[in-house]
Structures are given as structure tokens and as C-alpha cells.
Structure 1
Amino acid sequence: MADFATRRREAESRLVELKHMHGIAMLDGKPFDLAEMADVERELSGLDAAEGEAVRRERLEAAKIEETRLEGLRQTLIVVEEHRLEAADRAEKAARDVAEALKEFRLRSADAVGLLRALGVNNVLALDETDHRMSWRLTAALKPLTGFGRRFGQIVFPEARSPYDQPWRAEEQAIAGRYISKALKGDLQ
């Protein structure tokens, strides 16, 4: 395009000079050959056409490059969407597994409380608070979803407290251990 600009400036300068010389020739009553002026005008017309074609080609090339870029993004989107849906499947399975495991934990805890009471251990309030503890533990486990905030979509988390981010089994074993030990030894006090 810079070459076209240089050629255009030179041709326009020549045309101005030729028109000036034509005007002088007319004033002086001398003949003037208009062929050179016509050649310069044709050159300018050709330059206009060439510049237009160059712009068209650049736009066409840019459109091809953009289409290639967009096609790459489309292909990436296909892969990303498949991974997203696979993650949704895993999240759904994990959520349903958690719900089933918590239901089972609740039932097993109720069984343990019933057996402890049948064995004469009556003050098992800590085991009766299974839902409370597990809700705090679940909150502590899910809290990384929210970062420093407290919301995950429509779920608003309370601030999780430190004992609830410990290993669940060890904590439950510590809570129930003294009751179970008493029941197994027959020590009902």
C-alpha cells in the first residue's frame, strides 16, 4: 500500500504539471499532446483499482484468519462443554452419594444410640446431635466453593467452625468412644 501511495503522489504531481503545461500551451496558442496526460489519468485510475483490490484481498485474508480463529474456539468449546457436562455428572453423583451416606450415617447413629440405651447408657446427647454436627462438617467441606464469601448460588453458608473441619471419622470416634467403652465394659455410670 505504501508503494501505491508513492506512485499516486508522483502521478498526481505529474498530472498537475501536465495540466499546468497544457494551460500555458493554450495561452500561448501552441499545440499540446494530450496523450501523456491521458496516460497519467489512466495510471491513476489503475492505481485506484489496484488499491481497492489490495484492500479487498486484505479483508478477505483477515476474514479467513478470523474464521480460523473462531473455528478453533468452536472446537475448544466442544471439548470444554463435554468436560463441563462430565463434571456435572460427577457432581450430581457425588451429591447423591453424600446424601445417601449422610442418611446411612444418621440411621447408624440412631442404631448406636438405641443400642447404647438398651445397654443402659442413657446420657448420649452428643450422639443425638448427629444432624447438627454433620451439617457443620458438610458446611466446612463445601466452604471452599465460596472462597471468602458465604454464598454458593442460593445456598448461604454459616461460618464453619474449626472442630468441624477435622477428619469426620476420628471426631465421631472421639465423641462416641467413651459411651461405647462404657457399654462394652458394662460400666453404666
Structure 2
Amino acid sequence: MADISTRRVEAETRLTELRQMQGIALLDDQEFDTGPLSEVERELSALDAAEGEAVRRQRVEAAAAEQQRLVTLRKTLTVVEENRLEAVDCAEKAARDLCDALKEVRARSADATRLLRALGVRPAVLLDVYELEFRMSLRFAAAIKPLVGLGRRFGQITFPEARSPYDKPWRAEEQAIANADISRAMKGSY
């Protein structure tokens, strides 16, 4: 296209010169050969057509490139959507597994409390279902903190402030809480 632009400038310069010469010839009442003038005008007309065709081709290429870009984006969207849905499946399974696991913790804690009582140990209030659920909710809040950050919200769920010792390994902390009562029951010293 730069070549066409250069040729256009040159042709327009020649056309201006030829028209000036035609005007001089007319004023001086001399003959003027219009052949070169017509040739330059035809060249300019051809250059106009060439520029128009170049613009049309650019538009066609741009439209084809845009269509290809959209096809690529649609393919990418298909893959991303499948990955998103797999992540949703994984999150659902993890949430249901957590629910089942917390039900199991509650049931086993109730079993431990019953067994301690049967062995004559009055368990500390820390094994009480209310206390257990309170601790587990804080442990869950500590575990989910990287997701919710300082806002402590995930959608419609507001979590309590996650703080120590609830950010420590759950098993070790729960074992430490029950250890004194379990040791007394195992030794038979009530």
C-alpha cells in the first residue's frame, strides 16, 4: 500500500503540472496534447481502485482473523467450562465428605463420652457436643481462611474469626483435649 501511496503522490504531482501546462497553452492560444493528461487521470483512477481493493482485502483478512479468534475463544471456553464443572464436582464432593466426616466426629465423640461415663469418669465439658461443634466450627473457619481472607465471608456464609489454636492440626489438638479423661479411664483412676 505504501507503493500505491507513493505512486499516487507522483501521479497527482504530474496531473497538477499537466493541468498547469494545459492552462498555459489555453492562455497562449497554443495546442495542447491531452493524451498524457488522460493517461495520468486513468492512472489515478486505477490507483483509487487498487487502494479500494487493498482496503477490501484488509477488511476480509481482518474479518477472517476475527472469526478465527472467536473460534479459538470458543474452544478455550469449552475446555475452561469443563474444568470449572470438574472443580464444582470436586467442591461438592469435598463439602459432602466434610459433612459426613463432621457427623462421624460428633458420633464418635458421643461414643467416647458414653464410654468414659460407663468407666466412671465424668468427662470434661470439652467433649460435650456443643463444645465439640464450637471447636470444629472454629477449626473449619481456620481451614477456610485462605479462601475468605479478612472478610470472613463466602457468599452467604459468614465465618467466625479463625484464630489459634484452631489453625493447628485437628487430631493433635482434639487428642490433647481428651487425653486427661482417656488416661484416667484407661488407668482406672477416677
Give me the TM-score of the superposition, normalised by structure 2: 0.93
Tell me the residue number matched to 1:185.
Answer: 187
Q: Which runs of 5+ in 2 are unaligned?
A: none
Tell me the residue number matched to 1:68.
Answer: 68
Residues paired across the two proteins, number: 188
- Partners of 1:157 and 1:123 lie apart in 2 by 29
Q: Does the aligned pair in 1 maintain the 2:113–2:123 contact within 8 Å?
A: no
What root-mean-square deviation, in Å, do the aligned CA atoms of Structure 1 and Structure 2 show? 1.3
Q: Secondary structure at the match of 2:14?
A: helix
- Partners of 2:9 and 2:168 lie apart in 1 by 80
Between 74-83 and 142-151, the greater mean CA deviation after superposition: 142-151
Q: Does the aligned pair in 2 maintain the 1:139–1:160 contact within 8 Å?
A: yes
Q: Secondary structure at the match of 1:164?
A: coil
Q: Does the aligned pair in 2 maintain the 1:113–1:124 contact within 8 Å?
A: no
Tell me the residue number matched to 1:163.
Answer: 165
**1:147, distance to aligned residue in structure 2 (A):** 2.9
- Partners of 1:71 and 1:25 lie apart in 2 by 63
- Partners of 2:114 and 2:123 lie apart in 1 by 12
AA matched with 2:85: L
Tell me the residue number matched to 1:86.
Answer: 86
- Partners of 2:158 and 2:21 lie apart in 1 by 87
Between 20-29 and 102-111, the greater mean CA deviation after superposition: 20-29
AA matched with 1:155: I
Between 175-184 and 131-140, the greater mean CA deviation after superposition: 175-184
Tell me the residue number matched to 2:176.
Answer: 174
AA matched with 2:62: A
**1:157, distance to aligned residue in structure 2 (A):** 2.1
**1:34, distance to aligned residue in structure 2 (A):** 1.3
Q: Which runs of 5+ in 1 are unaligned?
A: none
